[in-house]
Structure 1
Amino acid sequence: MRQRKQRTAQQRTKQQKKHKTIDYTFRGLDIAMIKNVAISRPRQEAPGKIPWCFPLLLIGVRKMKFVIKHEIKGRMRIHVSQYRMSYEQADTLLYFLHSNKYVTFAKVYERTGDAVISYVGDRTEMIRTLQQFSYEKVDVPAGVIENSGRELNAKYQEKLIGKIVCRYAGRMFLPYPFRACVTTVKSVKYLWKGLQCLWRRKIEVPVLDATAIGVSIFRNDIETAGSVMFLLGIGELLEEWTHKKSVDDLARTMSLNVGKVWLKREDQEVLVQTSEIRPGDEVVVHMGNVIPFDGIVSDGEAMVNQASLTGESVPVRRIVENSVYAGTVVEEGELTVLVKEVGGSSRFEKIVTMIEESEKLKSALEGKAEHLADKLVPYSLGGTALTYLLTRNVNKAISVLMVDFSCALKLAMPISVLSAIREASLYHVTVKGGKYLEAVADADTIVFDKTGTLTKAKPTVVDVVSFNGAEPDELLRIAACLEEHFPHSMAKAVVDAAQQKNLAHEEMHTKVEYIVAHGISTTIDGKRAVIGSSHFVFEDENCTIPEGKQELFDSLPKEYSHLYLAIEGKLAGVICIEDPLREEAEAVVNSLKRAGITKVVMMTGDSERTAAAIAKRVGVDEYYSEVLPEDKAGFIEKEKAAGRKVIMIGDGINDSPALSAANVGIAISDGAEIAREIADITVGSDDLYQIVTLKLLSDSLMKRIRGNYRFIVSFNLGLILCGVAGILQPTTSALLHNTSTLLISLKSMQNLLD
């Protein structure tokens, strides 16, 4: 009786709660754990019976059911229990898995409904995470699903399988007369292309293909004509697939990824998430920052670099009522932009169009291969005619015609380059064109910026020394208020330090002005305030050290970098920043030297004392301190004039002239947007070893291309000689030639560094 009363009391207490957790089990299945559900009226239900409100509870709470098919420690393969997984659902699940901090690798197969997951941590926690997954609950960023490439890959896989199945099914089940008619009809396309080429007074690859197919049909050799067209079609399909995939992968890595923007509200600028911006809002874009949305300039004037959309690196002037586009960068000045469009798909499409139309994807070797392929066509035709005149044997002449160097040259080279670009992305390296991989392979000089490149990208504030009697926290608050407007690792260190101390720094100043490689100036409460380097504060701005503070100034710790804050011409405070050297810096420099780089240079705007210490530890061949942006670019131009091939690596606004001047500009991903936009290659990982990987990848690509040249020439020359000698029949020559072209193309798609 007492136990029954206790249970009744407990039930009454639970019913009185407005919000509660309900765990219902129906027919032996755990249906859901549904939180914060309001029950308007308590009601007794029979054991195991679904309550009256259950249909409402299930709305939007569809959890994933799955089966573990195979499992080892830290890795499992699951099968999702659903009838069919769409491309969108597969991408949603993949995004969910990649977003989980415990997942190190994930791959989702939409056809089978399987997912392979590698993870660290507790297995039970991983399973619980998967159980809680719901397609409807995952907030996938705009553009991720649309531009994932999953549907593209599936489409081309189906095309490739369909073409192979149709070819061999036709040979097995269709009668010869029907196959002959089909082959003849298909040949019209190739014959027409050849005639069009001749009409333009050019003897190029389409003429050779048309001749080989036309002669085979004329001789009633339907099988040879069909084989040639089949292999040509496979080659075209593989080239188109690889090209589209590589371009889309490259466009995705170039796509905009801006987390926060400055929203203009009345007379203030407020830092907000990009997801909060709506059409009609006004955002402020400071110098060196990327323009996050398409829009109209409502205030300000600036020089905007539009290379990411137009391919032209010369900046254009934008003033009030001019249009600006997402992904372009403000090089000089400042703009207030009235947002017109916030979607990301339009920018992706613009980038794809720009890449496809740009010659940036063409390396010099690719161009040579294409031109050589076309130049060899007349020789192939001439060799065919000469063989017939000397031997009077049609089969021997056609054996020469069936074999040409152009197909493999024209197909394998672009596939090699595009596959290398794709492979680079696997190592978090974005390459904006094949010619840059070739330039990296040829480079013999590399120039490093120091701050954020050889040193860690996350410098930290160690101390704030006051020179005007103000509290160090107050000086840090003022500095953070100024520095938060500009993208630089030192500025970020100041802002982070203020945030860690919970120092609120609302806008207290007038318009801030950024002087590249020097510092920032503004007005606070009617007083001029500047912050920046020693050169800027004491030489350009003629600020002075307060009386009696010289000894304190001289005792500032020399092992740190210094950021100087002055108000009304007097030094107010010095922020000491520790910028530790990357652990891998010395090893990377040594590895680059072993990989063929003969000259490693470090250039920095920091003091001679700091530069000398870093240069000695890293092991560079030369170093230059207290340099300006134009000094870096000037040094690179001088090296190029001396016949050297130069790589420039940097991360800041002040590195952009040098990145543009170098044969190859490489930007570190944590740096300024303008550096990433101007650079030819972006290293996305916080690890300098990726630069060594890039060098090895580029060298391997050039080695593969040269190997392809040698194989194509020797193999096809052997086929021609065997055909002239009568060892091989035309059908066999065509089969071997086209098969070798297909195999070398497939080999060119393989990873270089496996």
Structure 2
Amino acid sequence: MKFIIKHEIRGRIRIHAAQSRMSAVQADTLAYYVGKLEGVTSVKVQERVQDAVICYTGDRETLILALRQFAYENVEVPEQVLASSSRALNSEYWEKLVTAVVLRAGSKMFLPYSIRSVIAAVKSVKYLWHGICTLAHGKLEVPVLDGTAIGVSVFRGDMETASSVMFLLGIGEILEEWTHKKSVADLARSMSLHVEKVWLQRDGQEILVPSEQIEPGDKVVVRMGNMVPFDGVVVTGDGMVNQASMTGESIPVHKSEGSTVYAGTVLEEGELTVLVREVTGSGKFDKIVSMIEESQKLKSSMEGKAEHLADRLVPYTLGGTALVYLLTRNVTKALAVLMVDFSCALKLAMPISVLSAIREAGTYDVTVKGGRYLEAIAEADTIVFDKTGTLTKAKPTVVDVVPFVDEDPDELLRLAACMEEHFPHSMAKAVVEAAKVRGLSHDERHAKVEYVVAHGISTTIEGKKAVIGSQHFVFEDEKCVIPEGMQERFDAVPEEYSHLYLAVEGRLVAIICIEDPLRPEAVDVIQGLKKAGISKVVMMTGDSDRTARAVASKVGVDEYYSEVLPEDKASFVDKERSAGRKVIMIGDGINDSPALSAADVGIAISDGAEIAREIADVTISADNLEELVKLKQISNGLIKRIHQNYRVIVGFNMGLIILGVAGILQPTTSALFHNTSTLLISLKSMTDLLPEV
């Protein structure tokens, strides 16, 4: 690629692509290519001016060479990257805004007043008709006010005022539609399917394959806690499926042989073998967009109050107009009230504030499924953390395999990986990854695997019963014993690690020691949450009291609970809510799902179990917990902005009405100030709540 270096400082360079025009796809391709270069920390590509701003920590000459070697046709960009881009949408609405402003300015400069009057009269028909239709339905809402203001101006022959009001209303509509569509599209994309691999059933065996290799007619196996990857029909199995993302049903639906299942739903209980009918997800993205747009989840209670207040104010505005006219017999002063109302700004600014906050959260890899959850997060005073995979790192690692039989530790690890690979939990992933690192292939040797939530796994291997899980599950529930003469080795197993106990035929064969290091940012995150308004931080885990106590002391939580079951977490959340506290629950596993549902806001870690992400109201990236603090700050900022908008809208518009009734401002001037203030408040509401770092 040929380019010009326009500006450069240490670690940051701005280049200009030497080409006549840059499309949105080309901009995304360049951003993807540069973003993947070693040492590049961030890249922003502006297709309109064909510039790219690159921040880097690596060698400058290496970066320059890579840019020179770049060619659009040589870069394969993943489809999901292009699909998740909003450049085309932004370009479309930017052109709409520019076109509206240019046409407005051009008409005033080049068209005579008589022609502009005709155009204004024609445009007014839409607003008048909308107002009449609203009245016909027995409602006194904002369209009535808009139609009345425009209609009175047209009736008085004041076409300039009518034209100004319609122009500003049009600009507001474009901005609202732009923000709404972008926020909804971003949210829908983040909720779309991200299933990379599935279990394909072929010739009586299960094979883990990339999802793109699946074709209609294939059979895939879906186990408890996992997402159904494709639309299809159940051929064997029995289970309860959470279909809330598709149908809105809050209660899981029973599925058995012959039942239809949909991509994106989650299997809460049981196991299903699904005959794939449609590999594209049957337009799931469109279904999600439709679901979001229709769902009341998008609306916070404050947003709903603003809309209701806006509609309730319409009769008072009309009544005020009539009263001023009766008292003064002055049409101009009466119009001063009609031209200025509170409802327009309230209805426009509040939804934009909420949707912009959802969009901003998305820039920090946080997916919020509705404005009401931002409001609940702002009000929250209690936060409950799961430990494993949440406060600790998302990828625990196996540090040792302690054998209790005369068998190679690698063979015992191979057996454990064979059992654990079917279930989405961070501890299970650690075992599977350890086997992979050691080059241990683990073919299917076992019968059906049974997953006991928060306990472990039970199966039969070559006719022998095998279990793996917690100490409570293996020794108390399954009544397994330590081999004779091995008690001393058992007592010597290092306590600083988490333990998985593997037993065959009722005898302990190995303890797998797993290091689950604390996230480096965990302490700062908890302190940051407390500064942002959280007064009580709780940690709950199924681990032993020894492990839980060590972690709790390091991170600085107010309370911790160990060896808890899923129902214990949910009960604790219910108890806190009954005491009048607003509770946030954060987790990543199947065992966190009941508590995520019970909390005012459930937050799931993005690489945890699908059922946790499905049930949760918010999903955050697993890379950094600091996003939680950002989310709390955004939520607090949103509430502050909404209250500020209320004060500004009421104060400013009340001032305009008083000045208009006093005869100081003409109706045209009041209308201009009112609509300009509405536009400015809306534009301000679209800005980020957190300062750029």
Identify whether the pair has TM-score above 0.5, normalized to the shorter chain.
Answer: yes
8 Å contact from structure 2 (residues 420, 428) kept in 1: yes
Of 544, 558, 576, which aligns to 2:513? 576
CA distance in 2, matches of 1:345, 1:87: 26
Of 425, 429, 432, which aligns to 1:492? 429
Of 145, 152, 163, which aligns to 1:226? 163
Q: Equivalent residues in 2 for 1:495-644 (5 A)? A: 495-644=432-581
Counterpart for residue 614 of structure 2: 677
| Aligned amino acid, residue 575 of structure 1 | I
| Aligned amino acid, residue 718 of structure 1 | G
SS at match of 2:629: helix
Counterpart for residue 300 of structure 2: 363
8 Å contact from structure 1 (residues 429, 690) kept in 2: yes
CA distance in 1, matches of 2:247, 2:417: 36
- Report % sequence identity: 71
**Per-residue Cα deviation, 1:124-161 (whole angstroms, up to 9, x for no partner):** 32233334434334333334324422211111100110
8 Å contact from structure 1 (residues 142, 343) kept in 2: no
Offset at residue 374 of structure 1 (A): 0.1
Q: Which moved more, 1:293-302 or 1:682-691?
A: 293-302
Q: Which moved more, 1:623-632 or 1:122-131?
A: 122-131
Offset at residue 217 of structure 1 (A): 0.7
Q: Which moved more, 1:689-698 or 1:607-616?
A: 607-616
Offset at residue 332 of structure 1 (A): 1.1
> Does residue 1:274 correspond to 2:216, yes or no?
no
| Aligned amino acid, residue 41 of structure 2 | T
Of 418, 429, 454, which aligns to 1:481? 418
Offset at residue 679 of structure 1 (A): 0.9
> Does residue 1:108 correspond to 2:34, yes or no?
no
| Aligned amino acid, residue 129 of structure 1 | A
Counterpart for residue 333 of structure 2: 396
8 Å contact from structure 1 (residues 313, 678) kept in 2: no
> Does residue 1:721 correspond to 2:658, yes or no?
yes
> Does residue 1:412 correspond to 2:349, yes or no?
yes
Q: Which moved more, 1:342-351 or 1:687-696?
A: 342-351
Offset at residue 642 of structure 1 (A): 1.4
Q: Equivalent residues in 2 for 1:327-338 (5 A)? A: 327-338=264-275
| Aligned amino acid, residue 548 of structure 1 | G
| Aligned amino acid, residue 413 of structure 1 | M
Counterpart for residue 256 of structure 2: 319
Counterpart for residue 96 of structure 2: 159
Offset at residue 115 of structure 1 (A): 2.8
CA distance in 1, matches of 2:199, 2:34: 31
| Aligned amino acid, residue 164 of structure 1 | V
Offset at residue 316 of structure 1 (A): 1.5
Counterpart for residue 667 of structure 2: 730
CA distance in 2, matches of 1:575, 1:110: 53
Q: Which moved more, 1:507-516 or 1:73-82?
A: 73-82
CA distance in 2, matches of 1:553, 1:710: 67
Counterpart for residue 623 of structure 2: 686
Offset at residue 673 of structure 1 (A): 1.7
Of 239, 242, 245, which aligns to 1:302? 239
Offset at residue 345 of structure 1 (A): 8.2
Counterpart for residue 354 of structure 1: 291
Q: Which moved more, 1:524-533 or 1:276-285?
A: 276-285
8 Å contact from structure 1 (residues 146, 345) kept in 2: no
Q: Kindly name which structure, 1 or 2, has the bigger radius of gyration based on alpha carbons.
A: 1
Offset at residue 604 of structure 1 (A): 0.7
Aligned length: 691
Of 246, 249, 257, which aligns to 2:186? 249
SS at match of 1:373: helix
| Aligned amino acid, residue 487 of structure 2 | Q
Counterpart for residue 113 of structure 2: 176
Counterpart for residue 587 of structure 2: 650
Counterpart for residue 38 of structure 1: none
> Does residue 1:702 correspond to 2:639, yes or no?
yes
Offset at residue 65 of structure 1 (A): 4.0
**Per-residue Cα deviation, 1:250-299 (whole angstroms, up to 9, x for no partner):** 11222222222222221222222223333333222221112222233233
Q: Which moved more, 1:357-366 or 1:686-695?
A: 686-695
8 Å contact from structure 2 (residues 231, 282) kept in 1: no
Counterpart for residue 262 of structure 1: 199
SS at match of 2:283: helix
Counterpart for residue 194 of structure 1: 131
Offset at residue 394 of structure 1 (A): 0.9
8 Å contact from structure 2 (residues 263, 284) kept in 1: yes
| Aligned amino acid, residue 404 of structure 2 | F
TM-score by length of 1: 0.89
Q: Gapped runs of 5+ residues in structure 2?
A: none
In the superposition, relative to structure 1, how do residues 559 and 701 fare at CA in structure 2: closer, same or farther (>3 Å)? Answer: same
Offset at residue 344 of structure 1 (A): 6.1
Offset at residue 596 of structure 1 (A): 1.6
In the superposition, relative to structure 1, how do residues 357 and 65 fare at CA in structure 2: closer, same or farther (>3 Å)? Answer: same
Offset at residue 70 of structure 1 (A): 3.6
CA distance in 2, matches of 1:247, 1:101: 33
| Aligned amino acid, residue 674 of structure 2 | H
> Does residue 1:77 correspond to 2:7, yes or no?
no
8 Å contact from structure 1 (residues 373, 409) kept in 2: yes
**Per-residue Cα deviation, 1:370-390 (whole angstroms, up to 9, x for no partner):** 000000000000001111111
TM-score by length of 2: 0.97
CA distance in 2, matches of 1:623, 1:686: 24
Q: Gapped runs of 5+ residues in structure 1?
A: 1-63
8 Å contact from structure 2 (residues 474, 480) kept in 1: yes
Q: Which moved more, 1:110-119 or 1:240-249?
A: 110-119
**Per-residue Cα deviation, 1:639-673 (whole angstroms, up to 9, x for no partner):** 11111110001111100110011000011122112
Q: Which moved more, 1:95-104 or 1:639-648?
A: 95-104
- Aligned Cα RMSD in Å? 1.7
CA distance in 2, matches of 1:621, 1:500: 38
CA distance in 1, matches of 2:649, 2:357: 20
8 Å contact from structure 1 (residues 143, 344) kept in 2: no
In the superposition, relative to structure 1, how do residues 202 and 289 fare at CA in structure 2: closer, same or farther (>3 Å)? Answer: same
CA distance in 1, matches of 2:444, 2:236: 19
CA distance in 2, matches of 1:598, 1:503: 47
Offset at residue 685 of structure 1 (A): 4.5
| Aligned amino acid, residue 74 of structure 1 | G
Counterpart for residue 172 of structure 2: 235
SS at match of 1:239: helix
CA distance in 2, matches of 1:359, 1:434: 9
| Aligned amino acid, residue 72 of structure 2 | Y
**Per-residue Cα deviation, 1:501-529 (whole angstroms, up to 9, x for no partner):** 11111111111111111111111110010
8 Å contact from structure 2 (residues 15, 51) kept in 1: yes
8 Å contact from structure 1 (residues 260, 273) kept in 2: yes
**Per-residue Cα deviation, 1:426-463 (whole angstroms, up to 9, x for no partner):** 11111111100000000011111111111111211121
